[in-house]
Amino acid sequence: MQHDENRLVFQDGQFTDDVWVDLPDDGPIPVEGPAIVTLVRLAGDDGEYFLHGGCRIGVRLRPEDRLGDLVPWMARLELIALNFEKFTDGRPYSAARLLRERMGYRGRLRATGEVLVDQYAAMRRCGFDSFVVAKGRALRSWQAARIEMSVRYQAPQESVLERRHARRAVLEVA
């Protein structure tokens, strides 16, 4: 089991202790305490244990993992961690929106990897509510970001589906 002492978790506007343990694919299953596993492990031999409530469970996704593979466990997942392998990679943003808006996920959505304070507002708008930050990062800038970026001047973009429904409704009335 791995607890990384060089990282902090920023959620609910403050830094907090990380109670979640990153469990390697070949590590023992904890008897108590919340664990984060890979999708490979979740879908593997231990999947039944996790599905039927053996412990508090979260999943760590790579950008190439398929979100549809989470469906059997969605009701049990308390945390989904999406990894930004590079800060320029937009796939975790898309995955976060899909998880929140299409799949109805309401648990913690955690950003891990190359998580920068400059991207905090965009990540929040996509549904992230927990951020793993390296201890070396400027902690005050993260706390300031919560205050500075709490007001948005730009409205969220309508989805293509919402625009199609609106257009169809107008055509049906005409």
Tens-digit pLDDT string for the chain (174 aa): 455 566 788 888 888 888 898 888 887 776 677 889 899 888 887 777 777 766 788 999 988 899 999 998 888 899 999 999 887 788 999 999 999 999 999 999 999 998 888 888 889 999 999 999 877 656 666 666 665 555 555 555 555 566 666 667 666 665
Paired tokens of 131:
């951020």
CATH of 7-173, one of 3.30.1330, 3.20.20, 2.20.28, 1.10.10: 3.20.20
Reported as type and span, the H/E element at residue 79 is strand 77-84
Using CA atoms, how far apart are residues 147 and 139, in angstroms rounded to an integer?
14
Q: What distances in angstroms separate CA 86 from CA 44, 91, 117, 169, one per listed residue?
A: 28, 10, 14, 41
C-beta separation of 1 from 23 below 8 A: yes
Q: What distances in angstroms separate CA 30 from CA 57, 79, 107, 163, one per listed residue?
A: 10, 16, 21, 47
pLDDT attached to residue 111 = 94
pLDDT attached to residue 143 = 65
Q: Where are the domains of the chain?
A: 7-173
